[in-house]
């Protein structure tokens, strides 16, 4: 399940911008299709151009409403809409792999590795991608130009979550956990996490490289991700490395 909307604010139209020779959203569709264990690739969008690109790269399209509060809602509303749309065709008992076009730095085998781990832990857990932190030193901004040491831990205990790379769960479980939240607004969910009121606090993870957590929310990040894609994943080749992986 890939979600992509047309109204991005920090980097306008980022999902259709050229990224290493292809539209950004086209990479994520291709990466999902290259998995040897994925049966269907769906793209949920509210945008005609994104839908056309998704179809061209091989995704099945779910057209969602153009919600007036789209800038404020979390991904939960989008995924719940998609799950309800697909229920007559697929029921509710399958593994759903959630991936974001804004996290494009996937090796060809990453999604399959996540699926295999999801199956190993029983097919009911929540499996995400995460990257280790060597040291965790955080400063809290007090006012402009002044900050205070908040966390300093060099025991290699912390991870950076990267659920955009892949996030695997059972749809029935997802509907249940999001129903407990009682809201699909980003600001409400962020506050719940800060106050330790979020019902989901423990999950399983697959360890990924630290640079794979980079996202393309700004132009600088977009450019940095292109460099990482070319240097670490493509290595002088193109998008065909994903099809080659599937055929191997």
Domain boundaries, the chain: 2-131+159-247
pLDDT at residue number 157:
87
Count of CB atoms situated within 10 Å of the CB of 36: 13
CATH 3.40.50.2300 is the classification of domain 2-131+159-247: no
pLDDT at residue number 73:
80
Instruction: Give the integer Cα–Cα distance in Å for 59 and 144.
Output: 46
pLDDT at residue number 10:
83
Residue segments in the chain with a per-residue pLDDT below the cut of 70: 124
In angstroms, the first-to-last Cα distance of the chain is 24
Whole-model pTM over 0.85: yes
pLDDT at residue number 166:
95
pLDDT at residue number 162:
87
- Residue that is written with structure tokens 């955080």 in the block: 138
């Amino acid at each position: 399940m890939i979600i992509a909307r047309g109204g991005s604010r920090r980097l306008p139209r980022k999902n259709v911008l050229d990224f290493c020779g292809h539209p950004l959203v086209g990479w994520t569709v291709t990466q999902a299709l290259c998995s040897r264990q994925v049966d269907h690739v769906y793209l949920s969008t509210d945008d005609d151009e994104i839908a056309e690109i998704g179809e061209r790269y091989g995704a099945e399209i779910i057209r969602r409403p153009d919600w007036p509060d789209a800038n404020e809602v979390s991904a939960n509303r989008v995924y719940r809409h998609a799950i309800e749309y697909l229920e007559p065709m697929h029921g509710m008992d399958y593994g759903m792999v959630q991936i974001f076009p804004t996290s494009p730095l996937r090796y060809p085998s990453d999604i399959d590795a996540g699926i295999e781990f999801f199956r190993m832990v029983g097919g009911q857990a929540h499996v995400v991608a995460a990257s280790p932190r060597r040291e965790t030193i955080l400063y809290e901004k007090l006012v402009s130009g002044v900050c205070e040491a908040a966390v300093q831990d060099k025991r290699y205990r912390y991870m950076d979550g990267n659920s955009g790379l892949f996030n695997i769960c059972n749809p029935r479980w997802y509907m249940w956990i999001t129903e407990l939240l009682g809201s699909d607004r980003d600001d409400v969910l962020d506050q719940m996490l800060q106050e330790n009121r979020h019902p989901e606090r423990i999950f399983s993870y697959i360890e990924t490289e630290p640079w794979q957590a980079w996202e393309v929310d700004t132009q600088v990040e977009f450019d940095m991700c292109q460099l990482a894609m070319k240097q670490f994943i493509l290595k002088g080749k193109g998008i065909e490395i994903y099809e080659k992986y599937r055929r191997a």
